[in-house]
Structure formats: structure tokens, C-alpha cells
Amino acid sequence: MADYAFLLPIGIALLGGAMSPGPSFLVVAQQSLSQSSLHGILTSLGTASAAACFALLAALGVTGLLESMPKAYALFRFVGGCYLLWLAYCLFANAKQPLPERTLERDKVSLLASLAKGFAVQISNPKTVFIIASIFSAALPQQLPSYTALWVTLTAFVVDFSWYALVAWSLSKAPSRAFYQRRKHRFDYMASALLALLALKLFYDLFA
């Protein structure tokens, strides 16, 4: 296992990135507060799956391929920005709607949607793959042991899922939900504004 000691600093760096505020945190928080802990955890599973995809792409060197194809990368960023703007609009438009009652039927209908939303939000942020690639380039040794791509992908998944599942579990408790119920419109407006700003920054970087 000494050959894989580099996974520890990679995991720490990835945890620091996951803990920083961003669209993934916002969507996990929103799902946990407005729905349930299970919805938040499924959303976390979605974000972690996307992070694992990014880690695998970075480990396989696809980052360099994207950088060598500026038009494809620009399209990727544009689509990601459009999705973030759409999500911001949905939050803004429904900010004054009261929280729905939790029912088993609602859970059955929307759990898959929560998973998909977490994946879509994470995958729509193309900067994540370059952040992961930067971490890998700094921490990976020159001589890579066998199955390095697999282990770094699993590390990214476990770190991302563990953090956001903890966030989901914490925010879904009754006191958190009651607090959110009283201030839902403010939280949703703030989350909408932050997502819109992230999207606009993507567009600014793209067209500047």
C-alpha cells in the first residue's frame, strides 16, 4: 500500500475543494432542506458520480485533449452555464412556494430526479475537471502503480459523497427544515443569485 500513499494528499485536497461553497453544495442543501435526507443523499450520490467521471477523465489525460480542442471545450462550458442559469431560474420562480409535505409517494417519484440533479449540476461545472487535474498533476508520482486511474476515481467518489452526504444528513433534521421553512424565499433567492453569478462568470471567461 505504500505505493498508493499519494492518495492521502489527493483525498485531502479533494475534500478541501468539496467543502468550498459552490453549485454542488447549493443543490445538496436545497434538496435536503426542501425534501428529505434521502433526497439529499441521492443528490450527493449524483455529485459524487460526476466527480468520479471527472477524476477518471483527468487520470486518463482527457484534460489535455479538451484543451487541445478549444471549440469542443467552449461548447461544453456554454452548455454547463446554460444549465446553471436554468436551475437558478427555477429556484427564483419557486422561491415563494411553501415546502411540500413529505410523503412516500413523493419520495418514489422524485428520488431519481434528485440523483439526476446532483449529477447534472456537478457535470455542468467544467472547471471541476481542471481542478481535479491540477491536484493530480501536483500529487501523482512520476512512476504510477497499477490501477492508479481506478484508485484515484474511487478516492474522488468516496470523498465527494462522504462530505455531501454528511451535509445532507445534517440539513435534513427537523430544526434545519423548520429554519428553512421560515426563510425559504431568502435562501432560494440567494442560491438562485449565486448559481446565476457562477453561470455568468463561465460566460464571461468564455467570451472575454
Whole-structure pTM value: 0.70
Q: Which residues of the chain have pLDDT under 50?
A: 103-107, 109
pLDDT of residue 104: 44
**Overall residue count recorded for the chain in this entry:** 208
Supply the pLDDT for residue 103. Answer: 47
Read off the DSSP letter of residue 2.
Answer: G
Q: Domain span at residue 70?
A: 2-207
Query: Nine-digit cell at 135?
Result: 491536484
In the chain, the number of structural domains is 1
Nearest to 180 by CA among 193, 195, 170, 166: 170
The CA distance from 145 to 28, in Å, is: 35
Give the pLDDT score at 64.
59
